[in-house]
Amino acid sequence: MKDISLSLRSLAARKLASLLAVLLTAFGVMMALVVMQFTAAVQERLARDGSGIDIVVGAKGSPLQLVLSALYHADVPSGNIPYAEAQKWMQHPQVRAAYPLALGDNWRGFRIVGTTVDYARHYGAEVAEGRFWQKPFEAVAGADSGLTPGARFTGAHGLTEGGHHHDAHAYTVVGTLKPTGSVVDRLILTSLDSVLELHGQSLHAHHDDDDDGDGEGDEEHEHHDDAHAHGHVHSAADITAILIKTSGPIANINLPRSINQSSALIAANPALEMARLSAVFGVGTRTLGLISAFLIALAALGIFAGIAGSLENRQADLAVLRALGYTPLRLFRIVLYEGVFLAACGLALGLALGIGGYGLAVGHLPALAHGAAAGFQVSWAWLSAAVLFAGLLASALPALRAARTAPADMLSLR
């Protein structure tokens, strides 16, 4: 009989205690794994959404809110900025690329973003079907929206579901985008003009109807009513924010300073703002991490208690094995295997639960659905090693005690 089978048979002889130890280990591992995956996915997501954007410029208010609303589309904007002012900065020599954004409406919770085609391209978005917009009220839908080319929809006022519908202004989907794993997947993109016109503004002093047919004229008319209904007035065009890629590290420092000093706008550094935010939610992550470590330690203690307790009843068995010629080393191994096996089972179950459970949870978090890091992470290897080591440690002491068992001399077994 192989030593490992002896270990397994001994575990099978006390199923309940073994099962408990396995479950306890599995829960610890599962929790650690979910925390790790969630942290990794969020960080990857933040990094991808924020990549290449050095400065976010918007209305005065909280820089964090500006970054969250304009870069991650996770908050409402603090206000609008005059397009004329924005353009001044977009043409600044230290700006390599600038993407103006006009927010205000949504379709079923997907934000309708007035911007330039370059914004989509910045995130590597390619057209899956159809084409990019060419006229106002043509829209390109991100991969998660479920819209298909040819579909018509109206935007609802506000950035979350349930706002007043701009019923008179229907957008036509002219293209859909391939998944990018970035925020663009959850956006509906259109021209800057579309959004501004809808809210009673124009990029141009006089809206020219040259390239629009009669239908467009009708919309123009309707939109006036719409604007009045919201209490908007015609004004010089306002947009929401600009995302800026600067010409280099020095510009990253200088440009925000000039913007903050010499205009009514603020410039926020996304990396800095997100670092501040991470510092806050990092506490939560760390707490969950500590709880998982505590659970795993508790599981190791459970393994120790189970094996140490069973040794009390196995003294005679071990002494008989010694008499049958089992060396102390073999007895040590047999008991050690028990702990490692329990830890390994708990680890396997925990990995399955952690990966599966996270997959299920992410299904309810659209923001992490695409490109969520479900693949192997180096930290998992460390987690696995730590759990196996805990099992080894938990069984090492009882194993040492087992190894010290003297062979059953005939007297002692009477």
Partner 1 sequence: MTEKPARRRDFVMGILHIRKLKHSAGGREILNIDALSVDSGGRLLLLGPSGCGKTTLLSLMAGLMRAQNGDVTFDSTNYAALSSAALDGLRRRSFGFVFQKLHLLGHLSLLENVRLASDKPDDAFIRALLARLGLEGKEKQAAHVLSHGEAQRAAIARALAGKPRVLFADEPTSALDDAHTAAVARLLLDETARSGAALVVATHDARLKPYFDAAWEMAA
Report the nearest approach of partner 1 to the CB of residue 310 (Å).
Answer: 10
Report the nearest approach of partner 1 to the CB of residue 305 (Å).
Answer: 19
Residues constituting the chain = 414
Report the nearest approach of partner 1 to the CB of residue 296 (Å).
Answer: 29
Report the nearest approach of partner 1 to the CB of residue 383 (Å).
Answer: 33
Nearer to partner 1 among residue 324 and residue 378 (C-beta):
324
Task: Choose, by CB under 8 A, the member of 19, 253, 264, 413 that binds partner 1.
Answer: 413
Q: What values do phi and psi take at 217, rounded to 5?
A: -60, -40
Span from 6-14, 217-225, 338-346, 389-397 in contact with partner 1 (CB under 8 A)? 6-14
Report the nearest approach of partner 1 to the CB of residue 284 (Å).
Answer: 46
β-bridge mates for residue 36, sequence order: none
Q: Name residues contacting partner 1, limited to 7-46 (CB under 8 A).
A: 9-10, 12-13
Q: Name residues contacting partner 1, limited to 203-222 (CB under 8 A).
A: none
Report the nearest approach of partner 1 to the CB of residue 319 (Å).
Answer: 8
Report the nearest approach of partner 1 to the CB of residue 21 (Å).
Answer: 18
Span from 101-109, 182-190, 253-261, 405-413 in contact with partner 1 (CB under 8 A)? 405-413
Task: Choose, by CB under 8 A, the member of 16, 205, 324, 378 that binds partner 1.
Answer: 324
Task: Choose, by CB under 8 A, the member of 19, 329, 361, 381 that binds partner 1.
Answer: 329
Nearer to partner 1 among residue 124 and residue 328 (C-beta):
328
Nearer to partner 1 among residue 188 and residue 321 (C-beta):
321
72-98 as b/e: b if 16+ CB within 10 A: bbebebbebbbbebbbebbebebbebb
Q: Name residues contacting partner 1, limited to 304-323 (CB under 8 A).
A: 316-317, 320-323
Contact residues for partner 1, defined by CB under 8 A:
1, 5, 9-10, 12-13, 316-317, 320-329, 407-411, 413-414
